[in-house]
Chains A and B, each alone.
Chain A
Amino acid sequence: MLTPLHKQLLNDYQRDFPLSTTPYRDIAEELGISEHEVLEALTELYEANVITRIGPVIPPNRVGVSTLAAMSVPKEDIMAIAEIINKRPEVNHNYEREHHYNLWFVIIASNQAHLHHVIAELERLTSYSIMSLPLLDDYFIDLSFKLDFDDC
């Protein structure tokens, strides 16, 4: 069960996390509570698997290159193919979606040659072709997420 403190930490600290020697104490002071309470609440959020981490979000294509890849595969093969794809460390999201292009994943590589190599390898291993849709423009790359706790 999320407490008001949990919700506040989730909504208000997705960006501009303090870059000071004592960031958790700074947050505690802003909220008028003890540093211990902040550390405890964040630990609880980790343990409840609500947050993946406290850390940076790095825009795509700033270091290295990435692409959104799509495949059209028979429904009965999708698990097996997803498994092959997930084995590549360069793949960092992989979703089944409702469409004849039903498998969608992101590939991140160090450079274009590396990216092409990964695509070719995955095509070879799965025997399905990949539609590669690299990013051309970001209209919004901020991954912070406004949580609406009433929208249940």
Chain B
Amino acid sequence: MIVDGWDQKLLEAIQQGLPISPRPYARLGDLLGLSENEVIERLDRLKQIGLIKRMGVIVKHRSLGYLANAMIVWDIPDHQVQEVGRQISEFEFVNLCYRRPRSGQDWPYNLYCMIHGKNRESVLKKFNFLEQCCQTQSFPREILFSVRCFKQRGAIYYHSDQELADG
């Protein structure tokens, strides 16, 4: 994957938000010293190589009344985790599904998903539906509802030792 300094600057700039004006890519280009076409071509390429997963409106769930969110963690046998993970990720209301390492006896969980809802009941309803469909009831699991959000922001870029950090 080849990402040059211009790509990095472009990603950094667009992460602040695309201007809401008739020629937003031209505005972005003006800031960076790139032409409008170069901006569009580079973004298109970054999308094709998968460095941009999607491009569009980024919604704040909490301000739309999606106040409840739960992180659900399961301990799924290693040989089944991929299959179960893929099944879980198919549900419309699941918006993250990751495998992570177990961490000692205290934390045997290896599969994570996130469910948002307007309230606790609606999250639990979705969760129960998911467990029935995926037959995961027999696996050890925990539901970690969020209590408070101390910090939430989109991924940002910053420079460290002239290296580009992640988003």
Contacts and interface: CB of A to CB of B under 8 A. Distances in A.
Interface string A28-59: 00000001000100110110111111111111
Contact of B161 (A46, A49, A66, A110): A110
Interface string B61-83: 10111000001000000000010
A55 B8 CA distance: 14
Given A66-B166, A86-B151, A139-B98, A131 B107 contact: yes
A55 B96 CA distance: 19
A134 interface: yes
B57 A54 contact: yes
Contacts of A15: 54-56
A146 B92 contact: yes
Interface residues of A, number: 84
B90 to A, nearest CB: 8
Nearest to B90: A140
A133 interface: yes
Nearest to A54: B18
Contact of B52 (A56, A91, A147): A56
A73 interface: no
Classify the secondary structure of A's interface with B. mixed
A37 B116 CA distance: 30
Classify the secondary structure of B's interface with A. mixed
Interface string A7-39: 001100111110111111100000000010001
Which of A23, A66, A139, A141 counts the most B-chain CB atoms under 10 A from its CB? A139
B63 to A, nearest CB: 5
B74 to A, nearest CB: 12
A20 B40 contact: yes
Contact of B147 (A62, A97, A134): A97
Contacts of B11: 56, 58
Interface residues of B, number: 81
A93 B151 contact: yes
Interface in A62-91: 62-66, 68, 70, 82-83, 85-86, 89-91
Contacts of B85: 137, 139
A43 B130 CA distance: 37
A145 B56 CA distance: 11
Nearest to A17: B56
B22 to A, nearest CB: 6
Given A51-B60, A53-B15, A95-B146, 19 more contacts: A13-B57, A16-B55, A17-B18, A19-B43, A19-B44, A24-B20, A51-B58, A52-B59, A56-B54, A56-B55, A91-B151, A96-B146, A97-B144, A97-B145, A98-B147, A110-B164, A110-B166, A133-B107, A134-B100
12 contacts: A23-B18, A53-B18, A54-B17, A55-B17, A57-B58, A58-B53, A70-B107, A92-B156, A94-B149, A110-B165, A131-B103, A135-B99
